[in-house]
């Protein structure tokens, strides 16, 4: 399928930034800048900011997501939030398996898979993050690591459910470091992920799946990355906290 037939998705990951009031102010600033965008625009914000974000984005082209969700519907999991709670709150998107969750909070391929299942059961749209560490890239293990992460996370996911999955390829060495993968490096892995999806499902599913790149994507390098045939958008951390920078990336995705 021609890349032009997939709608690009530009998603911001605000991480642990912004109070509810700051959330409202930043979304108010972004709204006119991304109005009429030729791509989907999603902002994933801390749990505490979700209601403020939903309120601020209402009636605009911006959709809201959470940065994680638990695999259980409810129970004794202090500090966690379930997919069911996100659904009930009116949150359409959720990031699962971000490398910061994997690195700092003990997230494994299995817990990522369980969270994916819970989010799918609630009909949420998932931004599923995969990506290799620097040492793994240096050891020439990128394809092996990314394939394993993707395959485990998608185990039990049906072809129909793949409509609710976006895959974000995020090399860990490029996240928050200012060091971006070259467009060729990013394309190589995104193309490999699409080929894997074709093997796991079929070419129709692979052609329809949105695959993002993430890792120091910014207003300067976005256009070149987004021009690659298998890069259908971006997951953006730092640059999504500055309205003008984020708007330039959104604009680049629509071209």
Instruction: Give catalytic residues, as residue numbers.
Output: 98, 170
Instruction: Give 4's contacts (C-beta < 8 A, 6+ positions apart).
Output: none
For residues 149 and 216, which CB has a smaller minimum distance to ligand PEP in the complex?
216
Q: Please, what is the minimum distance in Å from the beta carbon of residue 202 to ligand PEP? A: 29
Binding-residue pattern over the window 7 to 46 for ligand PEP, x denoting contact by CB under 6 A: ------x-x-------------------------------
How far is residue 75's CA from residue 82's CA, in Å, rounded to a whole number?
9
Q: Please, what is the minimum distance in Å from the beta carbon of residue 11 to ligand PEP? A: 9
Of the candidates 106, 41, 99, 19, the residue with the CA atom closest to the CA atom of residue 67: 99
Length of the chain in terms of residues written: 255
For residues 183 and 198, which CB has a smaller minimum distance to ligand PEP in the complex?
183
Instruction: Give 201's contacts (C-beta < 8 A, 6+ positions apart).
Output: 159, 162
Q: Please, what is the minimum distance in Å from the beta carbon of residue 86 to ligand PEP? A: 19
Q: Which range binds ligand PEP by CB under 6 A, 83-91, 117-125, 168-176, 203-211?
A: 168-176
For residues 9 and 175, which CB has a smaller minimum distance to ligand PEP in the complex?
175
Q: Please, what is the minimum distance in Å from the beta carbon of residue 10 to ligand PEP? A: 12
Instruction: Please tell me whether residue 204 adopts helix, strand or coil conformation.
Output: helix
Of 170, 219, 230, 251, the one binding ligand PEP (CB under 6 A) is 170
For residues 147 and 221, which CB has a smaller minimum distance to ligand PEP in the complex?
221
* C-alpha separations of 178 from 25, 209, 237 in Å: 26, 27, 11
DSSP letter string over 72-112?
SSSSS-TT--BHHHHHHHT--EEEES-HHHHHHS---HHHH
Name residues contacting ligand PEP, limited to 189-228 (CB under 6 A). 214-217
- Residues 40, 69, 126: CA angle, nearest 5 degrees: 30
Q: Please, what is the minimum distance in Å from the beta carbon of residue 2 to ligand PEP? A: 27
Position with the least CB separation from ligand PEP = 237
How far is residue 195's CA from residue 187's CA, in Å, rounded to a whole number?
12
**Do the Cβ atoms of 222 and 253 come closer than 8 Å?**
yes
For residues 205 and 221, which CB has a smaller minimum distance to ligand PEP in the complex?
221
Position of tokens 């906290």?
Answer: 241
Of 26, 53, 175, 243, the one binding ligand PEP (CB under 6 A) is 175
Binding-residue pattern over the window 235 to 254 for ligand PEP, x denoting contact by CB under 6 A: xxxxx---------------
Question: Which residues contribute to the site for ligand PEP (CB under 6 A)?
Answer: 13, 15, 170, 175-176, 214-217, 235-239
């Amino acid at each position: 399928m021609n890349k032009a037939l997939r709608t690009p998705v530009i998603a911001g990951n605000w991480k642990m930034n912004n109070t509810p009031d700051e959330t409202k102010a930043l979304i108010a600033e972004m709204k006119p800048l991304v109005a009429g965008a030729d791509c989907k625009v999603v902002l994933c914000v801390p749990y505490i900011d979700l209601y403020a974000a939903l309120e601020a984005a209402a009636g605009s082209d911006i959709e809201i997501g959470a940065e994680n969700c638990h695999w259980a519907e409810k129970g004794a999991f202090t500090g966690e939030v379930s997919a069911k709670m996100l659904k009930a709150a009116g949150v359409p998107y959720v990031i699962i398996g971000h490398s910061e969750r994997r690195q700092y909070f003990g997230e494994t391929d299995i817990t990522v898979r369980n969270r994916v299942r819970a989010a799918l059961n609630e009909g949420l749209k998932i931004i599923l993050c995969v990506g290799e560490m620097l040492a793994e890239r240096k050891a020439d293990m990128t394809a092996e690591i990314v394939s394993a992460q993707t395959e485990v996370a998608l185990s039990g996911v049906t072809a129909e459910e793949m409509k609710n999955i976006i895959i974000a390829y995020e090399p860990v060495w490029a996240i928050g470091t200012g060091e971006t993968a070259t467009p060729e490096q990013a394309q190589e892995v995104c193309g490999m992920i699409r080929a894997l999806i074709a093997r796991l499902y079929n070419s129709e599913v692979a052609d329809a799946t949105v695959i993002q790149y993430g890792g120091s994507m910014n207003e300067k390098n976005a256009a070149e990355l987004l021009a690659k045939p298998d890069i259908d958008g971006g997951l953006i951390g730092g640059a999504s906290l500055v309205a003008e920078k984020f708007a330039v990336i959104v604009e680049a995705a629509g071209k």
